[in-house]
Amino acid sequence: MRLETKAVHAGDRKPAAGQIPVTTPIYTAASYFTESLEELDRIFAREQPGYCYARYGNPTNAALEELVTALENGHGTLACASGMSAIQMALMTALENRPRSIVAAEALYGATVVVLTNVFAPLGIETTFVDICDLAAVERAVAGSQPGCVLLETISNPSLRVAPIDRLAEIAGAAGATLVVDNTFATPVLVRPLELGAHFVVHSVTKFLAGHGDVLGGTVTTDRAHYDALRALARACGQVLGPFESYLTMRGIKTLPLRMERQCANARRIAEWLRAHPVIERVYFPGEPAHPDAATVRRLLPEGLYGALVSFELKGAGRAEVFRFMNRLKLIVRATSLGDVHSLILYPAMSSHRDVPPEQRARLGIRDNLVRLSCGIEAAEDILEDLAQALG
């Protein structure tokens, strides 16, 4: 099946009470029993499929996991309580029986940086940060630290660099390291990292997959070699998603390909408009002809689908001027998230990268005049009118 069809059908149509529901029901049971204790014993031992305790598995979660696995062309998926819990589960599994060292992209979501420096480092897991789009620099970092895994984002937050995943998979593989890719910004509509050699793919389903601003959750999809270890870790740690959130995410995914097409088209149009505006100093968008990763974009992203995020800098602006601009917006929502059906704008220095030291933000190009716009499915004309009146 093609991805558009998988998004609608995968995971659903499981028999319940002798009949087949059109959509997967919400199963709220915390535990399950069977007609015989012998059968329940086999389920606990994973000798027989079934459910015994919700931390180990839930039918609604399993349906979502099957759906995301189909979209990413993986072996199996774990639905997690948040995108950050998904990152942690992926990294912990990726490092099992490997060196406790990570090579990570410099350009990462701020909370991911905090996890690496404030959570993993005290546990003796060291991280080397590198420009992930500079393959020579990555090769040096991998040779120097001999990492257990390499971590990156398909499209980076908020600078929108596009990682050469296929080349990075070769570098990681040659060193015996696993490759962990946060695919939240791209979604499987644009890129499927496992097809390019990655071992783990992470999503914050809060964003594009669920798509309606009503879910907090994450997923980890992996290959056959790492799936059992991922599930075993989940059984112990319990960072699992609730059934209501799984249901809402499945409902959102059914329209994911349609939403992404509209959002990507809106982003292209808005990026072009911003580029010509006199008060805009710089526009960051993967579809820009002069984008530093243009060759990678042409190789890995579908023609015309460059993501729904546009970052831009206001000329000569500081915090006060950025606040003034954002406060004038009437349609675009000033909130910390992305990927919703409505357009969202945030100030990275205040929100997504607030806990990243200022000197590190400056090194990553996250200046005080930078804002990030997540384009929704509204009429592009209405989004542009709102930007125009707010910019003055």
List, by residue number, the catalytic residues.
Answer: 55, 109, 182, 207
List all residues 6 or more positions away from 392 whose beta carbon is below 8 Å from its beta carbon: 279, 328
Angle between helices 59-72 and 243-253 (to 10 degrees): 40
What are the structure tokens assigned to 289, written together? 């002809």
Cα separation, 50 vs 40, in Å, equals: 8
Q: Any long-range contacts for 89-93 (C-beta under 8 Å, 24+ apart)?
A: 89/220, 89/230, 89/233, 89/234, 89/237, 89/239, 90/180, 90/200, 90/202, 90/220, 90/222, 90/230, 91/120, 91/149, 91/151, 91/180, 92/233, 93/200, 93/220, 93/222, 93/226, 93/229, 93/230, 93/233
What are the structure tokens assigned to 211, written together? 């798509």
SS3 (DSSP) at 303: coil
What are the structure tokens assigned to 278, written together? 């006199």
